[in-house]
Chains A and B, each alone.
Chain A
Amino acid sequence: MDASTILSRLQFAFTISYHYLFPQLTMGLALLLVILKTLYLLRRDERYNTSARFWAKIFAIGFIVGVVTGIPMEFQFGTNWARFSTNAGEIIAQTLAMEGAFAFFLESTFLGIFLFGEQVFGQKMHLFSACMLWIGTWLSGGFIVATNAWMQHPVGYIIAPNGRFHISNFWAVLFNPWILAQYMHTMSGAVLTGSFFMTGLGAYYLLSKVHLDYGRIFVTLGVIVGLIASVIQLYPSGDLEGRQVADYQPSKLAAMEGLFSTEQGAGIVIIGQPDTANNRLDNPIIVPKVLSFLTYQRWNATVKGINAFPPDQRPDSIDLLYYSYHIMVGLGTFFIAITGLAFLLLWRKLLFQTRWMLWVLMLATPFPFIANTAGWFTTELGRQPWVVFGLMHTAQGSSTTLSSGNVLFTLIGFAGMYLLLGLLYVVLVVFEALRGPKTEEETTQETEEIAPQGA
């Protein structure tokens, strides 16, 4: 792989990992906004509406960063991966274009109505626009997962003599069997991020004894939704994904589990550091036979190791892939444990007084971001060395006319730009979080106080 291709991979990995920090939050918050608006209309308690208005602001800041960092993703297929785009564009760009046409128009329309239209169009329209916004964000996620699914598990295509993939069955591509488990896993991961974010801020309010009413609403809603999402992550979505990988991508499975040689009754690695030069795991803690059972439901089933694959079909970053997977699984377990415990305390009406638990919930806020990122690292590194699994090598997909100097230039530019965006995002969210939820009268009062200076 030449320097230009490696830098293009780095740039794509960096820009997509960074981008996805925002959609995972907004897809999660979109659902929570619908719940808050519905609770308001059912119970007519003004605090739910004030909460919804507050989270809409946090949502909007994340949404805008998600939009502006999302545009480079579509562009980069053409700029840095010209040969892949030429060969596969007819298929993967169907779903990419559908995302724009079906989801983005919907989102942009109803985001406008949701943010600007509460007073003008009334509560029912406001709830309706929240629902449409939620559908839009989740539809968008669906088309992206569908696009990725074709790269993981190509279906509905024919290969022309010149190497180009032509679409031969549109419905097969759109309803690729790969999508179901991946979509469930991705969406409940996003809900996890949104609910931990809400819980974390609520816990902060309770711990610092400000906005107590809202702190309780945020923690209650966040913990309940977070528990449901954590469980779905493990079962059925995680379980389905694992079997799917075992069936179709055994090289990914072997590398993510750190299994170097094929074993009958393979054990599952809890801890250990891969040593790829010597094909072994250092300092391992292994539970015997569990990997075989989880994969094939038989304790003595044979699981293929990395060495069973020819070198040009093995993932090329086994170490990172192994760690990504283990970080994701470790954090997933941790999420079930803390949301489960917090739910018990909530049920016994003890949670709001249990300060150590509130501390844990507050400090857990960033971890779903890490788990989601690690999960996508697992999926994508495990797809290597292929850009289209089993059909086209990543090294054959890059743009031939790009010099490494030009790619490095833009990579540095993206790094600088995204550092600025990240700082802005943190400043603004902290600013909003410290201001806290405000009813309409409070907002009007505040604006009047600062008006002389602001004008």
Chain B
Amino acid sequence: MPTLWFILVAFMLSMYVLLDGFDLGAGIIHLFVAKNNDERRMILQAIGPVWDGNEVWLIVAGGTLFFTFPLLYASSFSGFYLPLIIVLWLLMLRGVAIELRSLIPSPVWSAFWDGLFFLGSALLAIFYGAALANVLRGVPLDQSGYFFEPLWTDWNPYSLTPGILDWYTVLIGLLSLTTLAMHGANYIAVKTENEVNARARRIARLAWVATIVLSVPSTIATFSVQPHIAASFISRPWGFIFPIIALIGLVGMGYNTIRQHDMGAFLSSGAFILGMLTSSAYGLYPLVLPAVHPANSLTIDNASASQYGLAVGLAWWIVAMILAAIYFILTYRLFRGKVRPAEAGGHY
């Protein structure tokens, strides 16, 4: 049962990164893709009806993690205190920026929120990457299962007292930035036409090259920083399917870019994200939070809730996910197609 919930929580977090990933990406690239007020409003129209729903995946994944692995939730959230609260502030500023930029028709007002939308999105992408890297690298857990990490210490991922930021976690943060920029540019390309579409394609290509360049050292560093991952893949080799999915995504992205097939490129960048995240989860299993001293690591067994709690949670979770799938299909069907240049009286 804990293994099943490990998979389901990983699935929900992946859904969050895939979905909020493209609207974060849209925020990262929008200053470079959309050059005037009408074009900026088009970007917001493209993500407007869905970004809030995308963020719900974070809340639901968080809540699910909370009741299925209470100790993991408590330990990681208190240990990553500062970066998590900073993430919250960025989520706030970014959400407000999206919704408020067009409410007062003043060029200064909208320029301010456009800048904040960019900054919030870019920093969130970096922080999410760094957060994943912290989980992969391991944290200084004590015997009671708690820890605290300062924002940075000696920038050395092999240290006994690591910080949130070191060269490894920053590297993964940058990889996350280029990946989400690529994903977001693909989404904007799907949703737009003409100049905006052409600029989005160009940025997607640039981000694709940067992602390839960063992926190589990131992968090598990950295996070096966390030996458990290599051990997992060697003992259960069928898991190589996950990195292969990532690779297919990366190659497919290049192929679809040359063919100028925007939807194909978007699905490819999605596959790359999914492959990278599932590879990470697979490599960690059965650990959920590795410790600097391996004996203190949290695993699916010592961090999970009771059998009854997990079983009863599964029953309502299935119902909720069916409903969520219906809403999801409804929203994306209703708002499918290209966005038009901002119409009079539109919300954004």
Do A and B make up one complex? Answer: yes
Q: For residue A409, which residue of chain B has the nearest CB?
A: B82
CB-defined interface of A260-293 with B at 8 Å, one 1/0 digit per residue? 0000000000000000000000000000000000
The minimal Cβ–Cβ distance linking B209 to chain A, given in whole angstroms, is: 34
Indicate whether A75 sits within 8 Å of B77 (C-beta atoms), given known contacts A96-B63, A108-B56. Answer: yes
Q: Find out whether the CB atom of A100 lies under 8 angstroms from the CB atom of B148.
A: no
Q: For residue A125, which residue of chain B has the nearest CB?
A: B334
For B66, the chain A residues whose CB sits under 8 A away are 74, 77-78, 85, 89, 93, 96-97
Q: Find out whether the CB atom of B37 lies under 8 angstroms from the CB atom of A106.
A: no
For A106, the chain B residues whose CB sits under 8 A away are 323, 327
For A257, the chain B residues whose CB sits under 8 A away are none
Stretch at the interface among B27-35, B88-96, B231-239: B88-96
Q: Find out whether the CB atom of A75 lies under 8 angstroms from the CB atom of B88.
A: yes
Q: Find out whether the CB atom of B38 lies under 8 angstroms from the CB atom of A455.
A: yes
Q: B294 at the A/B interface (Cβ < 8 Å)?
A: no
Indicate whether A78 sits within 8 Å of B76 (C-beta atoms), given known contacts A105-B324, A166-B305, A170-B312. Answer: yes
Q: B330 at the A/B interface (Cβ < 8 Å)?
A: yes
Q: Find out whether the CB atom of B331 lies under 8 angstroms from the CB atom of A112.
A: yes
- The residue that A111 contacts in the complex, of B52, B55, B81, B89, with Cβ under 8 A, is B52
CB-defined interface of A406-421 with B at 8 Å, one 1/0 digit per residue? 1001100100010001
Q: Find out whether the CB atom of A112 lies under 8 angstroms from the CB atom of B53.
A: yes
Q: B62 at the A/B interface (Cβ < 8 Å)?
A: yes
Q: Find out whether the CB atom of A168 lies under 8 angstroms from the CB atom of B308.
A: yes
Q: Find out whether the CB atom of A104 lies under 8 angstroms from the CB atom of B67.
A: no
Q: Find out whether the CB atom of B305 lies under 8 angstroms from the CB atom of A82.
A: no
For B71, the chain A residues whose CB sits under 8 A away are 86, 89
- The residue that B308 contacts in the complex, of A64, A84, A111, A167, with Cβ under 8 A, is A167
Bound complex: CA of A108 vs CA of B145, how far in Å? 36
Number of interface residues of B (CB under 8 A): 70
Give residues 290-348 of B contacting A (CB, 8 Å).
Answer: 305-306, 308-309, 312-313, 316-317, 320-321, 323-324, 327-328, 330-331, 334-335, 344-345, 347
Indicate whether A112 sits within 8 Å of B60 (C-beta atoms), given known contacts A86-B71, A400-B146, A413-B85. Answer: no
Bound complex: CA of A390 vs CA of B93, how far in Å? 39
Bound complex: CA of A219 vs CA of B103, how far in Å? 26
Q: Find out whether the CB atom of B316 lies under 8 angstroms from the CB atom of A401.
A: no
Give residues 35-91 of A contacting B (CB, 8 Å).
Answer: 60-61, 64-65, 67-69, 71-72, 74-75, 77-91
Q: B154 at the A/B interface (Cβ < 8 Å)?
A: no
For B92, the chain A residues whose CB sits under 8 A away are 68-69, 71, 417, 421
Q: A116 at the A/B interface (Cβ < 8 Å)?
A: yes
Between B48, B73, B313, the greatest number of chain A beta carbons within 10 A of the residue's beta carbon is seen for B73
The minimal Cβ–Cβ distance linking B230 to chain A, given in whole angstroms, is: 30
Bound complex: CA of A305 vs CA of B207, how far in Å? 69
Q: For residue A100, which residue of chain B has the nearest CB?
A: B60
Bound complex: CA of A451 vs CA of B38, how far in Å? 11
Q: Find out whether the CB atom of A97 lies under 8 angstroms from the CB atom of B77.
A: no
For B323, the chain A residues whose CB sits under 8 A away are 101-102, 105-106
For B79, the chain A residues whose CB sits under 8 A away are 401
Q: A440 at the A/B interface (Cβ < 8 Å)?
A: yes
Q: Find out whether the CB atom of A101 lies under 8 angstroms from the CB atom of B75.
A: no
Q: Find out whether the CB atom of B308 lies under 8 angstroms from the CB atom of A440.
A: no
Q: Find out whether the CB atom of B52 lies under 8 angstroms from the CB atom of A108.
A: yes
Give residues 385-424 of A contacting B (CB, 8 Å).
Answer: 399-403, 406, 409-410, 413, 417, 421, 424
Q: B194 at the A/B interface (Cβ < 8 Å)?
A: no
Bound complex: CA of A117 vs CA of B49, how far in Å? 10
Between A79, A87, A120, A168, the greatest number of chain B beta carbons within 10 A of the residue's beta carbon is seen for A79
Q: Find out whether the CB atom of B330 lies under 8 angstroms from the CB atom of A90.
A: no
Q: Find out whether the CB atom of A79 lies under 8 angstroms from the CB atom of B89.
A: no
Q: Find out whether the CB atom of B85 lies under 8 angstroms from the CB atom of A79.
A: yes
Stretch at the interface among A24-32, A192-200, A371-379, A441-449: A441-449
Q: A453 at the A/B interface (Cβ < 8 Å)?
A: yes
List 22 A-B residue pairs with CB atoms under 8 Å apart, sorted by A's residue number. Answer: A64-B99, A67-B55, A68-B96, A71-B92, A72-B85, A77-B73, A81-B74, A82-B75, A86-B71, A89-B71, A89-B73, A93-B63, A97-B63, A99-B63, A108-B56, A109-B328, A109-B331, A166-B309, A400-B146, A401-B79, A454-B37, A454-B107
Q: Chain A interface (Cβ within 8 Å of chain B)?
A: 60-61, 64-65, 67-69, 71-72, 74-75, 77-94, 96-102, 104-106, 108-109, 111-113, 115-117, 120-121, 164, 166-168, 170, 399-403, 406, 409-410, 413, 417, 421, 424, 428, 431-432, 440, 443-444, 447-448, 450-451, 453-455
